[in-house]
Each structure stands twice: as structure tokens, then as C-alpha cells.
Structure 1
Amino acid sequence: MAKITRKLLYSLLSISLCTLLLFLPSRISPNRPRSFSRVVDLENPFPPPPKIAYFITGSNGDGPRILRLLHAVYHPRNQYLLHLDRAASQQQRENLAVAIQSVETFTAADNVNAVGKADAVNYGGSTPIASVLHGAAILLRYSKDWDWFVNLGASDYPLITQDDFLHVLSFVPKDFNFIEHTSDIGWKEYQRITPIVVDPGLYLASKGGIFMGNKKRALPKAFRFFTGSSSVILSRKLIDFTILGWDNLPRALLLYFSNLKSSDRGYFQTLACNSKEFSNTVVNSDLRFVAWDNPPGKEPRNLRLSDLNKMLGIGAAFARRFLPNDPALDKIDSVVLRRNQGMIVPGGWCVGRPGKGKDPCQLWGDTNILRPGPAAKRFEKLLLRLMENTTFRSNLCIQQ
């Protein structure tokens, strides 16, 4: 793992935000999408921006939400894979594909794809983790030129722009994994871990709910069980390890988790924390903002406009869960992302002249140029808190 100190990271990030160079790249026609202009005779003092592979998922009726989320997290450097599960009709998947193809920027960059043959996803069973692994494998097949894998659901939304996100991650070691985790399983032992469940979505073409076996199994002895959030930000190296499995651990755990309830809330946690190669790369956070009722339930509550100040103040990159077209989303678009309805969040690569009804991202510049805003500073502070030596090392795969 790359060694990093709070002082060094703070200095790098602070200098980068304070002395950001606003390069003015040459404008080019969107009909020549891959001929990104380069600023010549000027040396960029910052590390090259990373590339993110996004897996964005939804269910029946979630096509419009996925499309809105795509516009909010889009950047031509990244890769995007969209998935409407089997609960949605084939017509909904076709409508989503048509909507993608109708956006000139998406087709020009050729970095947005949709899953045509949908997976069954029974939330609470083992099919969610199978779907995530399927999405990661497809993204690897489309392109191996990315640094982190991020899974988002239709009820998620960003709290920072992609320029903010990519800029701050430019200074983070690329082997870091952002996985909320704990070995303090508590009530989950009896409700999620020891029961044997069967998810018919693994073998039936039609929809079927999960069902419980009549016996329970003991807690595992060959590895330590960890649990946490189903939302993760995983390094490319960990994704390679998970898919290719040069060690047998990923496959062994996958067989164990195939009969586990809520498999997506423990698989990556258990995998990373039981691997010597990855256990010291895990940052104990999913970089998301969620809110819980009091007393808390098993799922976070829906976010509202009244939560906006709190969710922005924490510095998280994403938040969940939002209801479709909630006023809070409109406020985030206007105040934080500066995104107009139906348009992509503008970034340093967008060199068109904004105007009424005009999308500045119709004209492209150099996609290496980032223009982070105030939200990047909040995100930077969150990472600094998480990566303080005393905090970071004491939270590495906590054994409780």
C-alpha cells in the first residue's frame, strides 16, 4: 500500500485547489469526438485525473431516474454501464437504450452502455452480488483503462461534480478501497448469516422470492465475517482479484455467500479484510451520506430537502435514498452541480458558450482539464479525516 501522511495529502490538495490553472482548450466540433485538444507548451502541475467505471442499476420504472443520474455523474473520461433488472420490461430497456443514443455527447464519447440481457435481482438474496460482479466483468471487457469501480442505484445522487470527484481522487493512492465495514455483526448473525437462504433468481427464468432453509449453519471458521454497506468504491486491482481470482478466496467466498441473505452487504467487506494483499488498503467509508430514522430501521430513510445542509456539510461524494424527482434533487442540480434540466453537469472539458437552452458540453476541449468548485474542498476534508494516521490505521478491517 502506498504510504501517505495527512500533512502530505493536505498540502497537495490545498495547493491544487488554490492554484488551479484555468486552461482554455481549443474548441472542436462534436462530430470529431475523439480528437480532444491538448494544451501545448504548458506543463500541468497536477497528477493525471483518474478514470471511474460506474455501474448504475435500477428496477421496474427506474429508466428516467437512471438517465437523470447518468447526466449528473457523466464525464467523457469514465465508463458507464446501465442495468435495469428483470423486473423491468424489455421495452423499458429498449427505451433506455434509445434515450442514451439520443444524447450526442454519449454517442460521441462511446463510453455509455446498457445491459441488454437483464439479471434477476432479488434484494435480500444473493442475486444482487451476482449482478454487481457481472457488471464489473462487463466493464472490464469494454475497457481496462480505469482506476476505480463505483456502484450506484437509481435512488442515489451525487453531491459533487465529476470535476470535484476526479480532481481530489487524483491525489489518492489508486490501491485504496472505500468499503464501510465492521466485524461487529450483532443481530445480523441470526438474521442474515447463519440462516441458509435460496435465491431462485439464480436459476429460474421467472421472478421468485427468496426462501429459507429449515436449518442454520455455524459461523465461518476459515475466515472472519465482515458486514457493511452495499455501496462500494473499489480499486481496479481489487476488481481484478475478484473477477480473476489468482487466489481461491474470491471463489470460495462466492460459494458461501450464494446461500446468504443480503450477500451484497458482506461479500466485498469479507473478501478485502481476509486478504493480506488488500486488508491494509480499506478505508472504512463508502463516501455516501445516508440518514436513518430514530430508532433506526434496517434501511435508511428517504432524504428530503430539509436534509440538504447536513448532507452537503459532511462532504460526501454521493447520497441516498431519494424519491423520484424529489425537490432535493432539483436543489442539488441548481446549487451544487450547476446542471440544467436534461443536460450534463458542465466541467472543464465543456468549452461551449452556455446560454438559454444551450448545452456547453456540445463542444469539447481537453478531458484532462478539471475545474473543481467549492464542493471539492468539502470532499477533500472528508478524505483527510478518514486518512489521518490515527484514524486510518485504527479502522483497518476492525476486528471486534
Structure 2
Amino acid sequence: MQAILITAYKNYDHLEDLVNFFDDNFNIYIHIDKKSSISKENLNKLFSKKRVQYVSQQYKINWGGINHLKAILELAKEAIDNKDNKYFHLITGHDYPIKPLEGFSKFFDNNKGNDFMEYHTLPYSPWPENGMDRLSRYNMYDLLDGRTGLNERLIKGFSKLQKAIGFKRSFSKDFPPLFGGSTYWSLKRESVEHVFQYMNDHPKYLKRFNYSFCSEEIFFQTILLNSPMKETIINNNMRFIIWEERNGNFPANLDFSDYENIKNSEALFARKFEYPVSEALLDKIKSDISKT
């Protein structure tokens, strides 16, 4: 069995299509943002589906804040409790598979024992301030919705103040060397189990990510790249993502101009799909993978 972990907050119809893509060889675990306008009726409809094992609205999620990481950990904990789950795929409600269903089983049959996760050592120059400000300063995304104009200015202003006065948060002596990368991964059971064992052995590790920025892009990489699991991690998360500002979003909301690149990609999932800009592309992808 493979576990699909989904964090979502809107576009219920797309989420339902995503769930319906998978067959009985998959168990599905979903967290819906507590702020979401998805109705209780639709949540119940989702939970009634045979493949869906868990639906939660535990956390109110601010972009950049720690609650997205906590929601991911909640889903992973539920999924790891089922011993039948051997691989774990983290995606969002804006994602969709771009390979036929049988391709998933075949791919992981051919890659038993490997993890698929993007990673870089930190500091990492393509990230603003090499990514170090994420943990070296107090970032207030846990408290404020940084997507609104005033809150964004407050958050950035407080960060700039810390930089100006030379303030840096400290790390404990046993804190591991930092790694970061894309949030979304496909991990084998042993690796997910190792994450929870590490958290159990180092109870202060998660707490150090309070008031950080996009902690989910550092948390898992840092644990696993400092473990024996590093030998089996393929530095490719098998996700098709365009890291540019396009169609009103960063990363880009995909549109039909991305079709050929998606078709030729080795990735298993693509993101982000948004309506209506992605609708024609998504219809074409669904048609292609249903025929294969």
C-alpha cells in the first residue's frame, strides 16, 4: 500500500477528482485548513470515500507559518500507524498526477528502498539571504497572515529590524547541519519512521522551528540528510513545478503552454493547478493518462 498525504484549503471539486484518481492500493489522508470555506457536507462526503482514511481540520494555516508543518506531521503520523503503508507521498490539493496509475506501482517497484526528495545544503544561494534568515530570525508568520498587505509589511519590517541590529537566534549545540528543499516528497516507510524517532529522541527539535519561515522546507531534509537514510535519497522529488511568477502565483499556476514539458517530464505529480487558468491543461492530462 502507498499513502497519499494531502494538505488542502479550497477547490473541493479538484480535491475530489484527485482522491478519485487513486485505487484500493492507496490510503489517503487529508488535512483541510481550518480557515477553509469547504463545507461540512463536502468534508463528510470526502471522508465517506473508501480510500480516504483520515480527514482533519486541526490547524489554521498561515502561509509560511509552522502549522503547515504540523499538519503534515499529523497526516504522516496517522499514515505511519497503518503498517500496510510502505511509501508516503506528500502533495497538496493543487496537485494532480501526470502519469497513469499503474505507473506509480511500477516506478516504486523499480526503486525499492529509495526516497525522492529535493535537497540542498544551507546556506543555499538561490534562496533569499541563502535561506538562513528562516531560522536565524523571529518570523511572525505563525501569528499573522503574511498574504495581506499590512501584515506582510509588519512581518518583513520586523525581520529587517533584527537584521539591522545584528540579532541572530541561537541553535543548541546538538542541532544538526541544515538542509533544505521543496516541501513535497515521496519517502519509504523506514525514512518516515526515522523522522518520528528523531523527534522522540530530540523533543526540542520541532520547537526550534516556531517563528521560522516555511519550516516544512527544512525540517525533513535536515533530519534525513543527517541520518543513514541519506545514502538512499534521490535528489529529485518527482514533482513538476515551475519556479517563476506566472498566472498570478509563485510557483506558477500551470497553463496549457506547459503541456509539452509536462508530457516529457519524468515527474509523477505536477503543481499548481488553479481554475480557470489550468482547466484546459488538466483536461488534457486527464485524457492522456486515462488512455495509457
Normalising by the smaller structure, the TM-score range is 0.7 to 0.9
Stretches of structure 2 lacking an aligned partner (at least 5 in a row): 145-150
Alignment of 1:257-272 (within 5 A): 257-272=209-224
Q: How has the CA–CA distance of structure 1 residues 113 and 218 changed in structure 2, closer, same or farther, with 3 Å as cutoff?
A: same
Q: Per-residue CA shift, 1:195-228, capped at 9, x if unaligned?
A: 1224149xxxxxx999557543257764211111
Q: Per-residue CA shift, 1:348-397, capped at 9, x if unaligned?
A: xxxxxxxxxxxxxxxxxxxxxxxxx4xxxxxxxxxxxxxxxxxxxxxxxx
Partner Cα distance (1:153, 1:246) in 2? 24
1:169 corresponds to which residue?
A: 108
2:243 corresponds to which residue?
A: 292
Partner Cα distance (1:192, 1:327) in 2? 37
Q: 1:178 aligns with which of 94, 112, 116?
A: 116
1:282 corresponds to which residue?
A: 233
> What's the % identity of the aligned pairs?
24
Q: Per-residue CA shift, 1:142-167, capped at 9, x if unaligned?
A: x2211111111111111112211111
* C-alpha contact (below 8 Å) 2:80/2:189 kept by paired residues: no
1:335 corresponds to which residue?
A: 288
Give the aligned residue type for 2:264: G
Give the aligned residue type for 2:231: N
* C-alpha contact (below 8 Å) 1:62/1:84 kept by paired residues: no
Q: How many residues align?
A: 268
Q: Per-residue CA shift, 1:66-117, capped at 9, x if unaligned?
A: 1111122x1201110122111114x62431322553xxxx43xxx3134244
* RMSD (Å), alpha carbons: 2.8
1:88 corresponds to which residue?
A: 36
Partner Cα distance (2:263, 2:288) in 1? 11
Stretches of structure 1 lacking an aligned partner (at least 5 in a row): 1-50, 202-207, 339-372, 374-400
CA apart distance, 1:122: 1.5
Q: How has the CA–CA distance of structure 1 residues 191 and 166 changed in structure 2, closer, same or farther, with 3 Å as cutoff?
A: same
* C-alpha contact (below 8 Å) 2:244/2:250 kept by paired residues: no
Q: 1:134 aligns with which of 74, 86, 101?
A: 74
CA apart distance, 1:190: 4.8
* C-alpha contact (below 8 Å) 1:52/1:79 kept by paired residues: yes
Partner Cα distance (2:265, 2:102) in 1? 18
Q: How has the CA–CA distance of structure 1 residues 331 and 139 changed in structure 2, closer, same or farther, with 3 Å as cutoff?
A: same
Give the aligned residue type for 1:145: D
Partner Cα distance (2:275, 2:40) in 1? 18
Question: What is the TM-score when the length of structure 2 is the normalising length?
Answer: 0.82
Give the aligned residue type for 1:53: A
Partner Cα distance (2:290, 2:195) in 1? 33
1:324 corresponds to which residue?
A: 275
Q: 1:67 aligns with which of 16, 28, 50?
A: 16
SS at match of 1:216: coil
SS at match of 2:212: coil
Give the aligned residue type for 1:95: N
Q: 1:311 aligns with which of 247, 253, 262?
A: 262
Pair 1:55 & 2:21 matched: no
Alignment of 1:97-246 (within 5 A): 97-101=44-48, 106-107=49-50, 111-141=51-81, 143-174=82-113, 176-183=114-121, 184-186=123-125, 187-198=129-140, 199-200=142-143, 214=162, 215-217=167-169, 222-245=175-198
Partner Cα distance (1:69, 1:302) in 2? 17
Partner Cα distance (1:259, 1:99) in 2? 33
Q: How has the CA–CA distance of structure 1 residues 99 and 196 changed in structure 2, closer, same or farther, with 3 Å as cutoff?
A: closer
CA apart distance, 1:328: 0.6
Question: What is the TM-score when the length of structure 1 is the normalising length?
Answer: 0.61
* C-alpha contact (below 8 Å) 1:55/1:80 kept by paired residues: yes
1:365 corresponds to which residue?
A: none
CA apart distance, 1:260: 1.6
2:24 corresponds to which residue?
A: 76
Q: 1:256 aligns with which of 193, 197, 208?
A: 208
